[in-house]
């Protein structure tokens, strides 16, 4: 995954260079990003969103999102602690990507220029949601996935895991609705994203067991069938011993996670 991360960052940089705009202020954001001055990217991008000339332009929003994402990867360099200038960087990366997608939706002019970045954000968001799930902090897991779904609505695997977190935390109304919505979007011909494919089989197994208990035999049978279809992406997801090892690893990682997310934030939904 580390190799994938490095390659994706290179691809994003290359894509940004190719998509340089005929706009000096947007170009400035591009050069700052390529120079890894992520705090300045965020500051200048957000300043542009307040200017009348750029209020309809989605590009400052994607740069704000990418800047925040890179800041989230460099906690020792930037002030991301509670009350800090760049606190909650991953949450802000998700938030501004969601705003970018919404603003770009009508013309759909820029969306395909940042596909590699969406994978990076999806990967990080998924790992955070899985961490909370393994720690049995189901409400936090649902919240992390909910924020990811808003930013990345085209991946139903994220919605599936949001629903799992919701039903595990006894938010059955939202969980049941989102679970069926996700299940309706995934069939045996579904092509999962490479960054979330590994958790699909495990998610379907949980869904199958839950829907069986509810008496929804039709959807339970579909989910059980899909476990077999998608377990090829990560058979360890169905290995109890491997899952226990992952839970122990999650406990060790929790100390690191706490550096990124304050206790106050973690008690609230994203």
- Pair (203, 255) in one structural domain: yes
Alpha-helical runs (H) found in the chain: 2-18, 24-34, 38-49, 59-72, 89-104, 115-134, 138-151, 156-168, 172-185, 200-214, 217-230, 240-260, 263-266
pTM of the model: 0.83
User: Are residues 128 and 94 part of one domain?
Assistant: no
Q: Do residue 71 and residue 164 come from a single domain?
A: no
Q: Does any domain span residue 2?
A: no
Q: Which residues contact 40 (CB under 8 A, 6 or more apart)?
A: 32
Examine the domain organization and report whether 140 and 52 are in the same domain: no
Residue 267 pLDDT > 60: no
143-202 residue pLDDT tens: 999 999 999 999 999 999 999 999 999 999 999 999 999 999 999 999 999 999 999 999
Which residue range forms the structural domain that includes residue 88?
A: 20-109
Instruction: Average the pLDDT over 234-258 and give the result.
Output: 68
| One domain, residues 121 and 239 | yes
Mark whether 133 and 226 lie in a shared domain. yes
Average pLDDT of the segment spanning 251-264: 57
Are 98 and 131 members of one domain? no
- Asked if 137 and 238 sit in the same domain, the reply is yes
Query: Are residues 169 and 216 located together in one domain of the fold?
Result: yes
Question: Of the residues 48, 79, 109, which one is the last residue of a structural domain?
Answer: 109
DSSP 8-state secondary structure symbol assigned to residue 172: H
Confidence at residue 263, expressed as pLDDT on a 0 to 100 scale: 37
Residues 132 and 69 in one domain: no
Q: What is the mean pLDDT of residues 14-28?
A: 69
The CA distance from 83 to 86, in Å, is 8
**Mean pLDDT for the stretch of residues 59-71:** 98
- Contacts of range 231-235, beta carbons closer than 8 Å, 24 or more positions apart: 231/201, 233/192, 233/197, 233/198, 233/200, 233/201, 234/197, 234/198, 234/199, 234/201, 234/202, 235/201
As given in the structure block, the two tokens for residue 57 are 């332009």
Listed residues 82, 109, 136: the one ending a domain: 109
Span 23-47, mean pLDDT?
Answer: 96
Please tell me the total count of domains within the chain.
Answer: 2
Same domain, 59 and 151: no
Q: Does the CA dihedral 128-130-132-134 come out positive or negative?
A: negative
For the ranges 18-27, 59-68, 254-263, the lowest mean pLDDT is seen at 254-263
Average the pLDDT over 52-76 and give the result. 96
CATH number at residue 178: 1.25.40.10
């Amino acid at each position: 995954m580390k190799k994938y991360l490095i390659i994706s960052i290179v691809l994003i940089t290359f894509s940004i260079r190719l998509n340089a705009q005929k706009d000096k202020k947007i170009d400035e954001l591009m050069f700052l990003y390529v120079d890894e001055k992520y705090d300045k990217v965020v500051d200048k991008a957000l300043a542009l969103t307040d200017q009348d000339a750029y209020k309809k332009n989605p590009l400052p929003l994607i740069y704000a999102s990418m800047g925040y994402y890179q800041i989230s990867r460099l906690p020792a360099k930037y002030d991301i602690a509670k009350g800090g200038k760049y606190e909650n960087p991953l949450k802000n990366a998700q938030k501004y990507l969601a705003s970018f997608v919404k603003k770009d939706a009508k013309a759909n002019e820029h969306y395909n220029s940042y596909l590699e970045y969406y994978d990076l954000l999806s990967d990080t968001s998924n790992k955070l949601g899985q961490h909370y799930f393994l720690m049995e902090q189901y409400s936090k897991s649902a919240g992390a996935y909910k924020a990811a779904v808003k930013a990345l609505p085209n991946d139903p695997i994220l919605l599936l895991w949001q629903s799992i977190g919701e039903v595990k935390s006894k938010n059955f109304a939202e969980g049941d609705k989102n679970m069926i919505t996700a299940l309706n979007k995934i069939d045996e011909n579904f092509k999962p994203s490479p960054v979330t494919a590994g958790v699909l089989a495990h998610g379907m197994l949980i869904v199958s067991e839950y829907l069986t208990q509810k008496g929804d035999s039709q959807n339970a049978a579909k989910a059980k069938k899909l476990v077999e279809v998608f377990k090829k992406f990560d058979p360890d997801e169905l290995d109890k011993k491997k899952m226990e090892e992952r839970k122990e690893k999650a406990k060790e990682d929790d100390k690191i996670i706490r550096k990124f997310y304050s206790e106050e934030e973690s008690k609230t939904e994203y």
